[in-house]
Amino acid sequence: MQKITPTHDLSWYLKWTGSMFIMSGIVCRAVGVFPFYDLCSSFIGTGLLAGMAYLWHDRALLMVNGVACAALAMGILRYISST
């Protein structure tokens, strides 16, 4: 099977960097520490993946990551306003 996704272009870097940020947020959430870091890391990751989806013209991925990014931004603002 031939690989069809681009490699080593801007979208490739956005995809892998965003994935690493999301995974670090998930680890923080799973161990129950650094809730603000979880929100920020996940926000950055979903923002990067939304950028990748935009470059790929993938509306489904853009919608999922755009909504996730907006929801995480609201969580960050709520966290900041409560401290």
pLDDT at 23: 97
Query: How far is it, in rounded angstroms, from Cα 37 to Cα 62?
Result: 23
Q: pLDDT tens across 24-56, in order? A: 999 999 998 889 999 999 999 999 999 999 999
Model confidence at 2: pLDDT above 90: no
Query: pTM to 2 decimals?
Result: 0.91
DSSP letters along 2-51, please?
---S--SSHHHHHHHHHHHHHHHHHHHHHHT--HHHHHHHHHHHHHHHHH
53: which 2 tokens? Answer: 């989806």
Q: Which two tokens stand for residue 68?
A: 């996730």
Residue 3's pLDDT is what? 73
Residue 1 banded pLDDT, cuts 50, 70, 90:
confident
